[in-house]
Amino acid sequence: MKNLEPKTLADSMERLILDEELASRLGKAAQREAAKYDWSVVEKRFRGILTNLSGGESARR
Protein backbone atom coordinates (compact mmCIF):
# COMPACT_ATOMS: atom_id res chain seq x y z
CA MET A 1 0.00 0.00 0.00
CA LYS A 2 1.70 3.16 -1.15
CA ASN A 3 -0.93 5.77 -0.29
CA LEU A 4 -1.34 6.06 3.48
CA GLU A 5 -4.24 8.49 3.39
CA PRO A 6 -6.90 7.62 6.00
CA LYS A 7 -9.52 6.82 3.34
CA THR A 8 -7.16 4.49 1.49
CA LEU A 9 -6.18 2.75 4.71
CA ALA A 10 -9.83 2.36 5.74
CA ASP A 11 -10.75 0.98 2.31
CA SER A 12 -7.91 -1.54 2.48
CA MET A 13 -8.91 -2.66 5.97
CA GLU A 14 -12.52 -3.04 4.87
CA ARG A 15 -11.42 -5.13 1.90
CA LEU A 16 -9.51 -7.47 4.23
CA ILE A 17 -12.54 -7.82 6.47
CA LEU A 18 -14.86 -8.59 3.56
CA ASP A 19 -12.52 -10.76 1.46
CA GLU A 20 -11.71 -13.82 3.56
CA GLU A 21 -9.70 -15.44 0.77
CA LEU A 22 -7.47 -12.38 0.42
CA ALA A 23 -7.03 -12.16 4.19
CA SER A 24 -6.10 -15.85 4.30
CA ARG A 25 -3.58 -15.53 1.45
CA LEU A 26 -1.98 -12.48 3.03
CA GLY A 27 -1.86 -14.19 6.42
CA LYS A 28 -0.14 -17.26 4.99
CA ALA A 29 2.34 -15.08 3.09
CA ALA A 30 3.07 -13.19 6.31
CA GLN A 31 3.71 -16.47 8.15
CA ARG A 32 6.16 -17.57 5.43
CA GLU A 33 7.94 -14.22 5.62
CA ALA A 34 8.09 -14.30 9.43
CA ALA A 35 9.54 -17.83 9.34
CA LYS A 36 12.64 -16.40 7.65
CA TYR A 37 13.38 -14.56 10.88
CA ASP A 38 12.88 -17.49 13.25
CA TRP A 39 15.90 -17.77 15.53
CA SER A 40 16.85 -21.26 14.28
CA VAL A 41 16.94 -19.97 10.69
CA VAL A 42 18.86 -16.81 11.58
CA GLU A 43 21.32 -18.80 13.69
CA LYS A 44 22.01 -21.20 10.81
CA ARG A 45 22.68 -18.30 8.44
CA PHE A 46 24.87 -16.54 10.99
CA ARG A 47 26.90 -19.69 11.65
CA GLY A 48 27.35 -20.15 7.90
CA ILE A 49 28.62 -16.59 7.57
CA LEU A 50 31.04 -17.07 10.46
CA THR A 51 32.25 -20.35 9.00
CA ASN A 52 32.86 -18.73 5.61
CA LEU A 53 34.64 -15.76 7.17
CA SER A 54 36.85 -17.97 9.31
CA GLY A 55 37.73 -20.20 6.39
CA GLY A 56 36.36 -23.42 7.81
CA GLU A 57 35.24 -25.38 10.80
CA SER A 58 36.63 -23.11 13.53
CA ALA A 59 33.42 -21.07 13.73
CA ARG A 60 31.29 -24.16 14.46
CA ARG A 61 30.60 -25.47 17.94
**φ, ψ (nearest 5 deg) of residue 52:** -65, -40
pLDDT tops 80 at residue 59: no
pLDDT of residue 24: 98
Under 8 Å between Cβ of 59 and 53: yes
Return the ∠ at Cα 20 (arms to 16 and 22), rounded to 5°: 65
List, for residues 16-56, the tens digit of each pLDDT value: 999 999 999 999 999 999 999 999 999 999 999 999 999 87
| Spatial contact of 33 and 26, defined as CB atoms under 8 Å apart | no
Q: CA-CA distances (angstroms) from residue 33 to 26, 27, 60? A: 10, 10, 27
